[in-house]
Structure 1
Amino acid sequence: MSGVARNVGNHCSVVSCYSHVAFFSNVSLNVHRAVGSPLVMDPNSICRKAKRLAGKQAELCQTQPEIVNEVAKGARLGVRECQYQFRYRRWNCTTDFSKFNPFFLVLCASDIRETAFVYAITAAGVTHAVTQACSMGDLLQCGCEATRNRAPPRPPSSSSGGDGVKWEWGGCGDDVEFGYEKSKQFMDAKRRRGKSDIRTLVDLHNNEAGRLAVKLYMRTECKCHGLSGSCTLRTCWKKMPHFREVGDRLLERFNGASKVMGGNDGKTLIPVGQNIKPPDKQDLIYSDESPDFCLANRKTGSLGTRGRMCNSTAMDISGCDLLCCERGYREETVVFEENCLCRFHWCCVVQCKKCLVRKELSLCH
């Protein structure tokens, strides 16, 4: 256990690793536990136990604990989206700890594609959650987006409503710049102050890719105003993309992630391979190859796929051949109880009966 803790301490700081898996626990890495579902990330616990917090992060903990609370929500949002996007893969973004579990800590200390996605999706989740809290009026430090100096919106060519339609910014646009800055402030922890190393550069790049997956894909929403359904004035505002869209976009970046190595100056990243374009700011990057995740392996952080549900008829990554790594699978019948024959009674109760449902499951050997 101590060997694992030392390894993690060398490569994955309290802030960068724990904040990206949506909960903080004892910084000695001796006790890890999740209470209920989703995982608990208490801002008071973060600020009290994460003694290595410094600079802007420590200031945020001391002066704006309500923002730390939104950071926690955003990290949980990111983990849930990670679990959705990877639900059919050999590594399914497992972060469920009932006791000390070194597997995820070893994975976190690795610089592989899966870790790149975790960093990106949680940085995106924090951006999204903080920005949404601003729009909902849950934070005193921010509100709706300021649009005074912004150029008027361009009407869509297909639905301009004629030359006489006036356009203006209004409503409550999402202040994504505030969420972006708070995510950057809290998630971009400098593990080695004054030094540059490939792991730091890769992590910071993937954090930024996650934030940009929110910031660069704002959409314009509009509402028509006028007598008798006419559209003499159209009020528009900016809204964030739905977080599922963010997850889908980052999964595409995961599938096309670029392998890199550090440059001699310690400040640049070089793509590995011939005729490979340098990754842009939205691409995910990694420097180590992923394990196959077929079998449990403490050294690589793999939990294996034994006992995982698979689809015996599918030919994709959810199929039993691929998910079970050609080890085969067994069929198992389970019976569970669920609500059925539900009826709505005025007013306002829904009453259901309980039905026993039999389901055939395919489980990996």
Structure 2
Amino acid sequence: LGNRETAFLFSISSAGLTHAVARACANGHLKRCSCDDSYDSHVTDGSWRWDGYVDCSAYSFKPVNKLYKDLGRANFNPLSRAYRIPKSNYWEWKLCGDNVHYAAKFVRRFLKSRSTSRDIRAEVDKHNSDLGIRVVKSNVKVTCKCHGVSGSCTTKTCWRKMAPFYEIGRKIKRAYDKAVKVGSINNSNGRARLIRLRRSRLRHRKLSGGSSITSSLTRHTLPPVSPTPDSRLNLVANTYRTTTPRATLNPREELKGEIPRNKELVYLEKSPTYCRKSRYSKGTKGRVCKDERSCDKVCCGRGYTTHVRLVRRSCQCEVKWCCAVHCNTCSERKKIHTCK
């Protein structure tokens, strides 16, 4: 399906992969990348400068003769993932930042290698995946921490840090709420170009008898799109329609159509109803919901039943030396809400 939910799925998945790869690089879990050691000029104020390199893949210090000469003291610790170089009367530090640049390149290469199609569905998926990557990159902030006596900033530590993933998810959810429907026109090279669709305007014309009729602008249908048998990242496996989706575009609006912005999620077709059981959804009948507010939405206005259930769980756990954990079993009454 090329609906809003599929658009959100592609976007949040590419964002999650980018976030995970960037964090893994900084933590030294990948061999092909390490920290983000690139210079960021807007962070410094003239008395600080970024310098040096820390290889977080092994938490090791890159030997520099001048550095050892300047820091020939006992308190130098190469395992701190940071080191300092004297400049005038200041100290500067470089910590291990999240390598978002490498992660973004890696994810884009990965997605590109899994899809060679040039149809409208491929362009929609690419657009939504790129949005997820851009959200992660645009929410990287430089975090600095001062060290010194009595609150002075004798030593300054700076590193790049990604926003928590729940913040990334919120931004993509807002894009989902404002997603736009698109069609396509073919470029000279045969590649589909996405165009925002607008509702067709109805024209009124008078008849000789004084009555009026309403005629809609003529529509034409684009060629069918053949979905690939497997989706990129296997995110929406077994969710394609057996019939090929089509996108309709008004010929007069084709010239007025706008290219969707990079910060907009795009989709091809209207979402099916998830309230009733169908080939796309199991429906929400019998589904457990959290509280009254969520139940009103999840249950699609049909109402819900509430019953009390006795739940058993482990509690009062203690670690016994050596190597054993002993827990008691506690019982509690819990309200369970179920959709009608």
**TMscore range, shorter length:** 0.5 to 0.7
Q: Contact 1:339–1:353 (CA<8 Å) still a contact in 2? A: yes
Q: What residue number does 1:355 align with?
A: 330
Q: How does 1:275-354 map to 2 (within 5 A)?
A: 278-298=259-279, 301-310=280-289, 313-314=292-293, 318-320=294-296, 322-340=297-315, 352-354=327-329
Displacement after TM superposition at 1:345 (Å):
9.1
Q: Contact 1:224–1:232 (CA<8 Å) still a contact in 2? A: yes
TM-score in terms of structure 1 length: 0.58
> What secondary structure sits across from 2:41 in the alignment?
coil
Matching residue within 268, 275, 284 for 2:193: 268
> What secondary structure sits across from 1:355 in the alignment?
strand
Q: Quickly say closer, same or farther: Cα 1:256–1:294, change in 2 above 3 A.
A: same
Which has a greater percent of strand? 2
Alpha-carbon separation, structure 2, partners of 1:130 and 1:206: 19
RMSD: 3.0
Alpha-carbon separation, structure 2, partners of 1:240 and 1:286: 28
Q: Quickly say closer, same or farther: Cα 1:139–1:192, change in 2 above 3 A.
A: closer
Q: What residue number does 1:125 align with?
A: 16
Displacement after TM superposition at 1:331 (Å):
2.7
Q: What residue number does 2:41 align with?
A: 151
Q: Contact 2:37–2:96 (CA<8 Å) still a contact in 1? A: no
Q: Contact 2:4–2:179 (CA<8 Å) still a contact in 1? A: yes
**Is residue 198 of structure 1 aligned with residue 120 of structure 2?**
yes
> What secondary structure sits across from 1:357 in the alignment?
strand
Q: Quickly say closer, same or farther: Cα 1:256–1:264, change in 2 above 3 A.
A: same
Which has a greater percent of helix? 1
Extract unaligned runs of 5+ from structure 2: 46-87, 200-255
Q: How does 1:1-365 map to 2 (within 5 A)?
A: 110-147=1-38, 149-151=39-41, 153-154=43-44, 170-189=94-113, 191-193=115-117, 196-265=118-187, 266-273=191-198, 278-298=259-279, 301-310=280-289, 313-314=292-293, 318-320=294-296, 322-340=297-315, 352-365=327-340
TM-score in terms of structure 2 length: 0.62
Q: Contact 1:153–1:168 (CA<8 Å) still a contact in 2? A: no
Displacement after TM superposition at 1:225 (Å):
2.9
> What secondary structure sits across from 2:34 in the alignment?
coil
Q: Contact 2:93–2:155 (CA<8 Å) still a contact in 1? A: no
Alpha-carbon separation, structure 1, partners of 2:172 and 2:301: 29
**Residues 148-169 of structure 1: CA deviation (Å, up to 9, x unaligned):** x4325156xxxxxxxx996856
Which of 209-218 and 263-272 deviates more? 263-272
- Amino acid corresponding to residue 248 of structure 1 in structure 2: R
Alpha-carbon separation, structure 1, partners of 2:160 and 2:318: 40
- Amino acid corresponding to residue 288 of structure 1 in structure 2: E
Q: Contact 1:144–1:172 (CA<8 Å) still a contact in 2? A: yes
**Residues 242-279 of structure 1: CA deviation (Å, up to 9, x unaligned):** 11111111111111111111124343111111699643
Alpha-carbon separation, structure 2, partners of 1:167 and 1:183: 36
Displacement after TM superposition at 1:332 (Å):
3.1
- Amino acid corresponding to residue 29 of structure 2 in structure 1: D
Displacement after TM superposition at 1:329 (Å):
2.6
Alpha-carbon separation, structure 2, partners of 1:165 and 1:220: 23
